[in-house]
Amino acid sequence: MKRWIWKSVTWVIVILLLGACVIEHEERNSSNYNGGERAFDVYEDNMKVLTSFFDLAIRMEHYLAVPEDERFDAEQKYFPEYKIRSVGEEEWVGLRARDTAFRIVTGGRSLGTEGAEWKVCKYEGVFFPSWVTLTYNETKNITLTVGGCEAWNWTIDAALQFQSEDEELPVNYYIGGWAIHGNGKCVSEKDQHEQPRILLDFEITQPLVKLAGADDVANEGEVALLVRDTYLQQEEKVKATIESLAGDGRWVNILYKGKEYRH
């Protein structure tokens, strides 16, 4: 095979005028939990939403590679929480109980085929059904693009590229090791005037590295965040540098308002 490249939290966002805009929500254990750390957590929770789409596509690629007479066992292996059903030659749904949890349209091509374009729709964990598009190109990257994915209190637009560290496609996102590039925007829910309060832009400035078997979205890399308050017409810049620790775990160093914090 070719080389392959959601703790969902309901956030309450408040902007306080304290010389600059600050993202607020419930306090954590540390009294030093600041606006920069909050901005990073909002970003990463939304990244978990996006990687959940990617994870479904990876598992479906493995499932479809199995002969039809072995699909029952493959369903138990790749989708133990769902029942997989074909609803057309190139379209599949995952059922939880009797409800449709997700839908995948393959276009009749393997996800690892040059020119492949898959569409994945989720109905769980989002307020409205949201579609993402996955494409594969000659650089052996899988590109995920999404516009208007509504998850909890946020709407996400993004373009991300995933490249696997393995020669074969991992069984799921978390088992695999990945390099991730891209950018996007997270927009808070609209107010009574149909205007969003918070805009959070993100750009991966140093490739994110997701280590094989790790539970985090990424274990190394750098992300630049720009948080904008549309009411107060103010903005804050945040830089998050992720460093892996020997053995297990990671540190996230936050540069916020000229000071560094370890998150």
| pLDDT for the residue 126 | 65
Consecutive H or E run containing 235: strand 234-244
Residues 202 and 94 in one domain: no
pLDDT tens for 166-200 read 878 889 999 999 999 999 999 998 776 677 888 99
Distance CA 222, CA 204 (A): 6
* In-domain check, residue 19: no
Tokens read off for 73: 């066992």
Residues 152 and 195 in one domain: no
* In-domain check, residue 130: yes
* In-domain check, residue 35: no
Quick one: DSSP state of residue 16?
-
Distance CA 104, CA 19 (A): 47
| pLDDT for the residue 33 | 58
Q: Residue 156: which residues within 8 A CB-CB, separation 6 or more?
A: 46, 49, 50, 146, 148, 149, 150, 184, 185, 186, 187
* In-domain check, residue 81: yes
Residues 170 and 244 in one domain: no
* In-domain check, residue 28: no
Residues 163 and 242 in one domain: no
Residues 84 and 196 in one domain: no
| pLDDT for the residue 112 | 84
Contact 53, 120 (CB under 8 A): yes
For the chain (263 residues), the mean pLDDT of every run of 10, in chain order, is 32 29 41 78 94 95 95 96 93 93 94 91 76 83 91 90 87 92 92 80 97 92 95 92 88 93 88
Task: Please say which residue of 176, 209, 235 terminates a domain.
Answer: 176
3-state helix, strand, coil in the chain (%, to 5): 15, 45, 40
Residues 64 and 171 in one domain: yes
Long-range CB pairs of 58-65, under 8 A, 24+ apart, other chains included: 58/111, 58/169, 58/170, 58/171, 58/172, 58/173, 58/176, 59/171, 59/172, 60/84, 60/92, 60/104, 60/106, 60/111, 61/110, 61/111, 61/112, 61/169, 62/169, 62/171, 64/92, 64/106, 64/110, 65/110
| pLDDT for the residue 29 | 44
Biggest distance spanned by C-alpha atoms of the chain: 65
Which among 215, 180, 173 is positioned nearest to 78, based on CA atoms?
173
Domain count, the chain: 2
Which among 239, 238, 237, 244 is positioned nearest to 218, based on CA atoms?
244
pLDDT tens for 148-173 read 888 878 999 999 999 988 878 889 99
| pLDDT for the residue 135 | 94
Distance CA 65, CA 180 (A): 25
Looking at the DSSP bridge assignments, the partners of residue 93 are 85, 103
- Structural domain containing residue 166: 52-176
Residues 214 and 163 in one domain: no
Which residue blocks in the chain are alpha helix, DSSP H?
Answer: 35-64, 71-78
Which among 160, 176, 164 is positioned nearest to 53, based on CA atoms?
160
Contact 50, 235 (CB under 8 A): no
Tokens read off for 116: 């492949």
Contact 186, 200 (CB under 8 A): yes
| pLDDT for the residue 4 | 37
* In-domain check, residue 133: yes
